[in-house]
Structure 1
Amino acid sequence: MKLMVSFSRKKVHEPIIARVVKDTGVLINVERARIEPGEGDVLIDVPNGSAEEVSQKMRDLGATVRVLEDAIHHNETECVDCGACISICPQDVFSFDDDWNLVVDQKRCVLCGRCLQACPHGALSLLR
C-alpha cells in the first residue's frame, strides 16, 4: 500500500523512516522523496497488512500520513489510447491490452507527473 508521508523539521526530530523500520520491523520501500531544509514529503510502499501500524507509528513521531488508494486518474472518455504516456513513464504504469486500449497499473505509480505533461488530451490527472 502506498502512503504519502509529510513532515516538518519542527515536529520530527529524528530519521523517521529508520525509526519506524527499527521499531516495527516492517520493511519500507521509498518510491519518491522531496526533502527541503524545513519539511518534506515521502511516498512509501509498505505491505498492506502493515500499513495501519506504519501509519500510526509515523503519526506518533509527528508526521502526517495519507493512504493513496489510486495515484492517477485516467479519464477513459477523453483518452484516445495514443500511448504517449507509455513511453514517458519510468515505472511502466501504462500499457496496451490485446485490443490496443490503454491499461493503467495504479500500484506502480510514484506520482512523478511526467504522463500528465505527455498526454495530448489531458486525460490523466494526479490524485493528491
Structure 2
Amino acid sequence: MNNSSRTDWERIDAMADEEIDTSDIPPLDESFFATAKLRMPRKSKSTNSMNHTLNLSEGLYARLRDTAHRHGLPGIEQLLEKWLLQEEERHQRQETVRKITALREQLFTKYGEMLDSVDLIREDRTR
C-alpha cells in the first residue's frame, strides 16, 4: 500500500496558525455546540477487537456467508470463531489419543500382549 501524498507537509508544518486560510470554514458558536451530538464508533462485542481486511473472492465470501446462516450464525466472524473452537477441540482429542497410544505402548513393553477384556467380561456374565 502506497501512503505517499503530493501535499508538501514540510511547508504545512512550518506555517504558523495565522498563515492558514480558514475563510471557507464557518466559525463554531454556542448554537452549534447546543445541538451537537458526540458520536463514537461502535465497539465490537469483543473487548479486544481489531479490524482487519481480508480479500476474498465473491464466491468464497458467498459460501462463507451462506454456511454461517445455515448454522444459525449471524455472520462470517462467528462462523470463523466456531471453526477455531472446533479445531482446538479436535487438537485436544488428537492429543488425548496420542497419550493413550503412548500409554498402551508402555504397557505392552512392560506386560506384553494383553487379552481383550471384552471377551473376559462376556465369559463372566455367562457364568
Alignment TM-score, normalising by the size of structure 2: 0.17
Largest Rg, 1 or 2? 2
